[in-house]
Structure 1
Amino acid sequence: MRYAPIILFAFNRLESLKATVASVLRNSEATESDLYVFVDGVRPNKQGEMEKVHEVHEFVKTISGFKSVNYTFAKQNKGLGPSIIAGVTEVINRYGRAIVLEDDLVLSHNCLSFMNQGLDKYEKDPKVFSVCGYSNKVKVPNGYLADSYFCVRSSSWGWATWSDRWNSVDWDLMDWKKYEGMKSAFNRWGGSDCFGMLQDWKEGRNKSWAIRFCFSQFLQKKLSLFPIVSKVNNDGFDGDGTNCKKYNRFKFDFDNTDRKTFSFPVKVLMNESFRKSALSYHSLGKRIWSKIMYIIYR
């Protein structure tokens, strides 16, 4: 098997980063995988942050157990979105594929195996936009035999893709006047929050790379592969994550096995039952409830 490089984005959370790296190393494929770590720079006027980022730098320099370890420390703060776009572009154009992680994720023992198998299986199928390690808890239709499924809206919590898909994204949304008329269609496709996040990026209220990645997927009418049992646990809902707060409306089952034989869907098609179950987490009602809980657990 051809092992994809692993790209890991970090910032100022040493303990979270340590947990992520430890979980990746519990995957036997790590020893055959090149690791690229990108650490963002210190934000201006953030007291104590320089020391935290320095601690992260010193830890990154000690990482071992991979085929190779490569790291880049930004001199200035870019923000998560710009950091990911620049870092992934650099590495994926060198290898043709990549697995991408952030420093608040904990991987199952078989996550790298699932991701690499998915990358191998669907590399030449242009209908597949990405391979996701995380999956919300979904209702499995009666008689469904595979342990993975296709759906819309790629997850940003541990994912992988190929250079041709990545490079097809219009990061600048150059045709915005045309895109403004797609609000209803985009929300029907991926959930009630989709266009709002896209517009927030356009108007400078967020720096999200993920919503632009998903919008490109929407425009191209492509699907993402998900495991029925999640291979990733997002540990970022501790109040310290860039885009996560302490309350989490997303529910999942985590794979605690060492099984590395996976069954994939026979055809690259979306099962409507999976779509409804997966996108229910993005319904307006659940989002309103989440905002209330965010206030309570702030």
Structure 2
Amino acid sequence: MKTPIVFLIFKRPEATEKVFDVIRSAKPEKLFVVADGARYDRANEAEQCEITRAIVDRVDWDCEVFKNYSDVNLGCAKRVSSGLSWTFKQVDRAIILEDDCIPDPSFFRFCEELLERYEDDERICSISGQNVQFGRRRTENSYYFSRYQHCWGWATWRRAWQHFQFDRAVWERVKAEQLLKDILIDDRAVRVWHKIFEVTYSGEVDSWASRWMLSCWLQNGLSILSNVNLISNIGFDTDSTNTDDTVSPYNNMTRESLDFPLKHPSFMVRDNQADDFTQKTLYNYYPTLTEKIHKRFKKIAFWSSNLF
């Protein structure tokens, strides 16, 4: 495969090995490995980091391997964003996988073909194999356009990543000018994302992905999302930075394969219905009381069914 792959790793050797095996099957010509350092106050974490990094040394195909390993713990937001900035100083496009996101093999061809097709189209910020529609689809096309930049298995270009903004100052301007209302229209979505960005830029939540989302919205950028789910996130556990709900329907979702040749949409129109569903489900971080009760009963039912 001609397109470089960025592999984001930390301290989970079992998950890392599973993703690495899929990368090995794709045989990229260039592999960029970005690793964070251990936290000084976590027992055995340094050892786990070393074991995880050793997995990458098993590259057994014709491949240039570039390593960006931190000696100290930078945290998720700074480590991922600095690693991607380092990557895009060297290449103009890349496919990006975290250590807990297992792709279907068709994911690589999907990204590679669309990275080429939309390389000069400034309207598109990213391509992702993460589909959270649970079978809902409006067309027979291979993908649709969205305002959401999903990052469980994705790809982008240097031209898009140059718009990434880390510092809080950009969020302060968005608040001052009330731009979320212009972007999202829906008042509830505005309230949800205002809270998301507030906890992100205050440092309460260690997220690069929320910063990337806002950076793309401020460019009026769209993403391309596969019309079937190509990625299983196996990282929903207590070791995860931001995904620790093992009962979540997004935990280890079933992967499907895409058919080729790809069926391209005739028009570049955002799928508002799909985005509305995503906002009300995946991004329903601050549910109403009724929704909280419903979610609680679902968890009780899940645990009860697993007792017998």
TM over 0.5: yes
Q: Which residue of structure 1 lines up, in the alignment, with residue 227 of structure 2?
A: 228
Q: Is the 2:24–2:59 contact (alpha carbons within 8 Å) kept by the matching residues of 1?
A: no
Shift of 1:220: 1.6
Q: Is the 1:247–1:294 contact (alpha carbons within 8 Å) kept by the matching residues of 2?
A: no
The number of residues matched between the two structures is 291
Shift of 1:261: 2.4
Question: Structure 2 residue aligned with 1:115, among 111, 115, 118?
Answer: 111
Which whole-Å CA distance do the structure 2 matches of 1:147 and 1:127 have between them? 19
Q: Is the 2:127–2:155 contact (alpha carbons within 8 Å) kept by the matching residues of 1?
A: yes
Q: Which residue of structure 1 lines up, in the alignment, with residue 306 of structure 2?
A: none
Q: CA-atom RMSD, angstroms?
A: 2.8
Q: Note if 1:254 corresponds to 2:255.
A: yes
Which whole-Å CA distance do the structure 2 matches of 1:79 and 1:24 have between them? 24
Which whole-Å CA distance do the structure 2 matches of 1:41 and 1:258 have between them? 36
Q: Is the 1:13–1:56 contact (alpha carbons within 8 Å) kept by the matching residues of 2?
A: yes
Shift of 1:197: 1.8
Question: Structure 1 residue aligned with 2:150, among 152, 155, 159?
Answer: 155
SS of the aligned residue for 1:55 comes to helix
Shift of 1:66: 5.4
Q: Note if 1:146 corresponds to 2:141.
A: yes
Question: Mean alpha-carbon deviation: is it higher for 30-39 or for 100-109?
Answer: 30-39
Question: Structure 2 residue aligned with 1:165, among 160, 171, 176?
Answer: 160
Q: Which runs of 5+ in 1 are unaligned?
A: none
Q: Which residue of structure 2 lines up, in the alignment, with residue 285 of structure 1?
A: 287
Matches within 5 A, 1:36-185: 36-65=32-61, 67-138=63-134, 139-141=136-138, 144-180=139-175, 181-185=178-182
C-alpha deviations, 1:182-207, integer Å up to 9, x for none?
35455557946322121112212122
Which whole-Å CA distance do the structure 2 matches of 1:12 and 1:213 have between them? 24
SS of the aligned residue for 1:226 comes to strand
Which whole-Å CA distance do the structure 1 matches of 2:21 and 2:237 have between them? 19
Q: Is the 1:248–1:290 contact (alpha carbons within 8 Å) kept by the matching residues of 2?
A: no
Describe the shift of the 1:280–1:5 C-alpha distance in structure 2 as closer, same or farther (beyond 3 A): same
Describe the shift of the 1:225–1:42 C-alpha distance in structure 2 as closer, same or farther (beyond 3 A): same
Shift of 1:218: 1.5
Q: Is the 2:28–2:63 contact (alpha carbons within 8 Å) kept by the matching residues of 1?
A: yes
C-alpha deviations, 1:224-258, integer Å up to 9, x for none?
00011111111111332221112324385521x47
Which whole-Å CA distance do the structure 2 matches of 1:92 and 1:206 have between them? 25
Q: Which residue of structure 2 lines up, in the alignment, with residue 3 of structure 1?
A: 2
Shift of 1:289: 6.5
Q: Is the 1:31–1:67 contact (alpha carbons within 8 Å) kept by the matching residues of 2?
A: yes
C-alpha deviations, 1:104-142, integer Å up to 9, x for none?
01110111100111111111111111101211125212x
Q: Is the 1:186–1:194 contact (alpha carbons within 8 Å) kept by the matching residues of 2?
A: no
> Normalising by structure 1, what TM-score?
0.87
Which whole-Å CA distance do the structure 1 matches of 2:39 and 2:22 have between them? 28
Query: Structure 2: which amino acid aligns with 1:229?
Result: V
Describe the shift of the 1:289–1:85 C-alpha distance in structure 2 as closer, same or farther (beyond 3 A): farther
Question: Mean alpha-carbon deviation: is it higher for 154-163 or for 233-242?
Answer: 233-242
Query: Structure 1: which amino acid aligns with 2:192?
Result: D
Describe the shift of the 1:57–1:83 C-alpha distance in structure 2 as closer, same or farther (beyond 3 A): same
Q: Note if 1:240 corresponds to 2:235.
A: no
Query: Structure 1: which amino acid aligns with 2:212?
Result: F
Query: Structure 2: which amino acid aligns with 1:153?
Result: Y
Matches within 5 A, 1:14-53: 14-26=13-25, 30-53=26-49
C-alpha deviations, 1:64-109, integer Å up to 9, x for none?
3352222232110011111111111111221111111110011101
Which whole-Å CA distance do the structure 2 matches of 1:170 and 1:102 have between them? 21
Describe the shift of the 1:66–1:102 C-alpha distance in structure 2 as closer, same or farther (beyond 3 A): farther
Q: Is the 2:142–2:258 contact (alpha carbons within 8 Å) kept by the matching residues of 1?
A: no
Which whole-Å CA distance do the structure 2 matches of 1:60 and 1:135 have between them? 28
Q: Is the 1:37–1:70 contact (alpha carbons within 8 Å) kept by the matching residues of 2?
A: yes
Q: Which runs of 5+ in 2 are unaligned?
A: 304-308
SS of the aligned residue for 1:243 comes to coil
| Identical-pair percentage | 22
Q: Which residue of structure 2 lines up, in the alignment, with residue 199 of structure 1?
A: 198
Describe the shift of the 1:106–1:176 C-alpha distance in structure 2 as closer, same or farther (beyond 3 A): closer
Describe the shift of the 1:294–1:90 C-alpha distance in structure 2 as closer, same or farther (beyond 3 A): farther
Q: Which residue of structure 2 lines up, in the alignment, with residue 267 of structure 1?
A: 267
Query: Structure 1: which amino acid aligns with 2:23?
Result: V
